[in-house]
Amino acid sequence: MAARGWTEDDIADLSGKTFIVTGANSGIGFEAARALAEKGAAVVLACRSVEKGEAAADRIKMAHAGTKPEVRELDVASLASVRAFAERFLREHARLDALVNNAGVMAIPRRETVDGFEMQMGTNHLGHFALTGLLLPRLIESAPSRVVSVSSMMHTRGRFGALDARDLRLESGYEKWLAYGRSKLANLLFAYELQRRLGVAHPTVLSVGCHPGYAATNLQSVGPEMSGSAVGRAVMAASNALFAQSARAGALPTLYAAVAGGVRGGEFIGPGGPFKMWGAPVSQKSNRASYDLEAAKKLWEASEELTGARYAL
């Protein structure tokens, strides 16, 4: 279990280490990238919008002299973008100490990615599945290293039956919150299955899941904005103001999963306070469905089929 009260101050010097944080231009991703860069790491901000990524990098550099965060274009909702990003990173970087799969969308109206996947599953899981597979050889070469999958307590709303490619596309019966929960459950099924597949052959490459609790980020506003719901936007804003912790506090479980000592592969890190929504990071249990071995195997196989990703394990 993580030490109670763990904060950014407990992060050791990260000079010489390289990290990728997807969706690093705002929210949890930005705060994680900022903290890693502040501790001396080379951090790649992998962002769909290069303009927003550059603005985020400038904020980090202005606040912390000497940091040199890089910005690279990555749209995890596009397999072509995922491949292009991975190819460029592998050309430019000889090591990768941790991949933080953070980018995501939440509770949006039904949309499809450019590859025809339901947007929440395509962005939150399938794009990161492909990205991790492409970068895994570099992670193995750089071991000890980690893959961090940022999930949510909303994974408890996710359900998998007989999982196949058609299920992942959610072509009928779409409900935005159930679809979001399903994608967040997929994050954990993937994280735990990756750890099992790494096994004894790669004991120092760890796959770790985490969640931020309830943190105020712009993620909550996207769904209401896409739906054109002024009431939804107002409710989200009020809820964030009244109940949410800051994005900086919400990033602590991600940072702990990425760099803290004593972390074990297959752990799930989240806030240790009331309702697992606030507080310092601790190791905790996800729901029973996330440990379903058969569902994890079927999800992996379907993800390979849909993305074309094959893992070098």
d(Cα 276, Cα 20) in Å, to the nearest integer? Answer: 26
311 catalytic per annotation: no
Q: Which of 180, 192, 214, 256 is catalytic?
A: 180
Instruction: Show which residues are catalytic.
Output: 180
